[in-house]
Amino acid sequence: MKPLAFVGAGRMASAMVEGLLRTDKIAPGAITVCGGADPTARQLSERTGVKVAEPETVADGADFVILACKPQQLPDLDPGLLAALDGKAVISILAGVPLRKLRTAAPRARLIVRAMPNTPGQIGAGITAYATDPEPNDEDARVTAEVLGALGEVIAVAEPDLDAVTGLSGSGPAYVFEFTAALREAGIAQGLSRRVADRLARATVLGAAKLMHAAPQTTPEEQRDRVTSPGGTTEAGLRVLAARDLRAALKETVAAATRRSRELGA
């Protein structure tokens, strides 16, 4: 892989760097990072052996530059850094920043990628959707998928879909955490200790997720039906979820998050 530069060396940049180094497709010496005022870049370098540079020179030898600071830090980026993006491919993981704004910041970049990762990306178990300006050539598409692949799965979408992506997979981990906490509280309400209920709820969500992962051709509905025998306990529970219309609640949840993503990006 050609040299990479990271602008920002926080949680997501660290996850990408560490994920990439694990694949052996790039050596630490081919990655340069910069941070802001805090020592995140130096700490990442000490941990992994990647190079550290000042923001104005970080992009100099790189072919792909990954923007991984906070979205609100975009206006503070060094002008020398932005000028150095000419002719390069830029991958932004800044939540909610549209291609139009990124293009204004880097008008002569050969490719701009707007990516929306999610928090499990921090341990390589995320899914990242991305849109590009313009359509990438085969080589740029391959490198983009490899770089974002360090966070987990990767999927290309049209930019207008990124708000719904944010509402589903971007915010989705929080829904699952809330579901898990609710399951724990429900167990406590049935007399289990907090310790036991917490362990059961976490392991159940993880185990069900692993089952879905192990059988990608099987729909979640088929998985559900396999554990639901007529007249049994699961059926009795599911009947309540249907009566309370869990699906309608989630539809409204994702719609609200999608709407908010649109408002923030406008």
Ligand X SMILES: NC(=O)c1ccc[n+]([C@@H]2O[C@H](COP(=O)([O-])OP(=O)(O)OC[C@H]3O[C@@H](n4cnc5c(N)ncnc54)[C@H](OP(=O)(O)O)[C@@H]3O)[C@@H](O)[C@H]2O)c1
Instruction: Considering the complex, state which of residue 37 and residue 248 has its C-beta at the smaller distance from ligand X.
Output: 37
Q: How far is the CB of 120 from ligand X (least distance, A)?
A: 8
Residue 21 near ligand X by CB under 6 A:
no
Q: How far is the CB of 223 from ligand X (least distance, A)?
A: 27
Sheet (strand 64-67) strand order? 51-52, 31-34, 4-7, 64-67, 89-92, 111-116, 126-133, 152-156
Residue 166 near ligand X by CB under 6 A:
no
Residue 37 near ligand X by CB under 6 A:
yes
Here's the x/- map for ligand X, 105-144, by CB under 6 A: it reads as ------------xxx-xx----------------------
Residue 84 near ligand X by CB under 6 A:
no
Residue 68 near ligand X by CB under 6 A:
yes
Among 76, 185, 222, 245, binds ligand X (CB under 6 A): 76
> Which residues are within 8 A (CB) of 136 and not within 5 positions of it... i.e. 6 or more apart?
89, 111, 113, 144
Cβ neighbour number for residue 228 with a 10 Å cutoff: 14
Residue 70 near ligand X by CB under 6 A:
yes
| Residue 243 to residue 227: CA distance in whole angstroms | 19
Residues facing residue 51 across a β-bridge: 32
Q: How far is the CB of 257 from ligand X (least distance, A)?
A: 13
> Interacting stretch for ligand X, rule CB under 6 A, among 29-37, 208-216, 238-246, 255-263?
29-37
Q: Which 220-259 residues touch ligand X, going by CB under 6 A?
A: none
Residue 169 near ligand X by CB under 6 A:
no
Largest CA distance in the chain: 68
Residue 171 near ligand X by CB under 6 A:
no
Pairing of strands 51-52, 31-34: parallel
| Residue 143 to residue 113: CA distance in whole angstroms | 11
Residue 69 near ligand X by CB under 6 A:
yes
Residues in the chain: 266
Q: How far is the CB of 7 from ligand X (least distance, A)?
A: 5
The answer to whether the Cα torsion of 194, 197, 203, 209 is positive or negative is negative
> Which residues are within 8 A (CB) of 193 and not within 5 positions of it... i.e. 6 or more apart?
none
Q: Which residues bind ligand X (CB under 6 A)?
A: 7-13, 34-38, 40-41, 55, 68-71, 73, 76-77, 93-95, 117-119, 121-122
